[in-house]
Amino acid sequence: MPVTAGSLASAPIVAFTVQPDAALQSNIPFIRNNAGGNLANAYISPLFVAPQTSTAMQSSLAINGQGANQQAVLITAIGSVLPNAGQPAISGAVRGSSQLSAASTPVRIGSNLASVPDGNGNSLYGSSAISGFVLDQTQSSMASEVPLNAAATNYGFTHPATPTNLPAGVGASRTSQALTGNFGGLINTTAQKEPYVVTGTTVVTTDAGINRAAAVLASDPLTPSATGGISNLAMVFGPTNSTFIDDNIYGATENPAAPALVNGNPAQGAQLYFASQGAAPPPASLLQGSGAAYCQCQYLQWGYWGGDISSANTSGGTAPRIDRGGINFWVAGQPTLSTDISALASQGAVGTYTGHMIGSVFNNGNQYLAAGGLTATYQFRDQTGTFAVNNYDGRSFMLSGKAPLTGSNYSFAISNPQGLPITGSVNGGFYGPAAANTGGNFNFHTTVGQPYLTSGIFAAKR
């Protein structure tokens, strides 16, 4: 019995369990077992559907092990509930990353997504409310696993979706926001053997009225000799294919009209994802040994980004160059007002912040995710501070000294702290009333010995 379009006009947010595909034999939806579909300890969200504002989203994350023994998968499905001439249907895309060996590069997961119609063209069932449906990759295309330097594996999926209880709190806080911040991560490329670090600025907008989200990640200047020829990148997500469930759960795929810029020029194409950490929270085990917890920061949001950008081959070949981010990270929030910063300085205030760092690592040929604890202080009058890293990928060190403010933003240089042979930078800012939170990006690499580089984000609160 098909659901009617009229019954969805005032329907609340509802949740569905995406049941396993009998052929794929994977607990994680939309991917094969061979790509990590049965990794242990996976977080698998319900499929959230907000019929009255026409959006849907489901996300899964599994991160098992540490360092060279780690395996990780992130998959997100983002779609819209389309009127479809009176026969409502779900249409969207699946995006994600899979890395089952730290010694390999991430595999990109990509697919179309649609609810499967019956012989009469109906695909959402339940008469007065949605009680079930089936999702596939659409009959005109295939899902794909794409290694960076090997042939793709194509496959199909068929997932029944059955009703489940909406988790407590989902949909309780829904506000339209404009957030700014930073991002960090590593990018692999077909132009060279080793990955490179990318950091930059984040802009996120959410629209609670139409349940959409959008984001732009614009890189800081890159060194072409380190990237194989790229001096800057910009990635554009949503709002066309995006979902805003609430202030904690939202995401977007690439903007089909303008997905990315490479060296200031439009990319040939892209398959990208952007998701909040509330859509798929990371495991506490990643912080093992640091004594830290992921920051519950009232004025900061953070999450994941990744995917492929195709552009002209800088070496002159005919095949497009691919630049691929695996599971990387962003952070953004509501910047502290300049009047609050001035008041803190006039009071001689000192802020003490605790939180976490999380990022992507390249360690002598192995790639994996790492997290650690963070304790920081900042003296607003003389604009000096400390930044203490606790057991991030086995490394602990402290930065201290001048960190001049530009508005509410600051930076630290990493240069052989406590005699460690590492260099890099920390770029952050203050967020919320009276600088309640701080967040930003970091990157550092070794200057001697085996090659090591890492980049990611941090978030902390007073």
Question: What is the distance between the terminal CA atoms of the chain, rounded to a whole angstrom?
Answer: 54
**Residues 125-140: tens digit of each pLDDT:** 998 889 999 999 998 8
**Residues 219-233: tens digit of each pLDDT:** 999 999 999 999 999
Give the closest residue to 71 by CA, choosing from 287, 264, 326, 297: 326
Task: Give the per-residue pLDDT at 8.
Answer: 78
- Adjacent-strand bridge partners of 306: 273
Give the closest residue to 298 by CA, choosing from 442, 435, 457: 435
Parallel/antiparallel/unpaired status of strands 422-431 and 437-446: antiparallel
Q: Cα(434)–Cα(82) distance, rounded to whole angstroms? A: 43
Task: Give the per-residue pLDDT at 82.
Answer: 84
Task: Give the per-residue pLDDT at 18.
Answer: 98
Q: What is the DSSP letter of 294?
A: -
- Please state, as a whole number, how many other Cβ atoms lie within 10 Å of the Cβ of residue 418: 9
Task: Give the per-residue pLDDT at 85.
Answer: 76
Task: Give the per-residue pLDDT at 140.
Answer: 86
Task: Give the per-residue pLDDT at 460.
Answer: 98
Task: Give the per-residue pLDDT at 315.
Answer: 63
Phi and psi torsions of 267, nearest 5°? -70, 160
CB within 8 Å of 202: residues ≥ 6 apart: 179, 180, 181, 182, 183, 215, 216, 217, 330, 331, 332
CB within 8 Å of 225: residues ≥ 6 apart: none
CB within 8 Å of 236: residues ≥ 6 apart: 214, 215, 216, 254, 255, 258, 259, 260, 261
Task: Give the per-residue pLDDT at 441.
Answer: 98
The helix/strand/coil state of 284 is helix
Task: Give the per-residue pLDDT at 314.
Answer: 65
b/e map 420-447, b = 16+ CB within 10 Å = eebebbbbbbbbbeebbbbbbbbbbbbe
- Assess contact for 333 and 437: CB atoms under 8 A: yes
In the chain, which residues have pLDDT < 50?
A: none
pTM of structure: 0.96
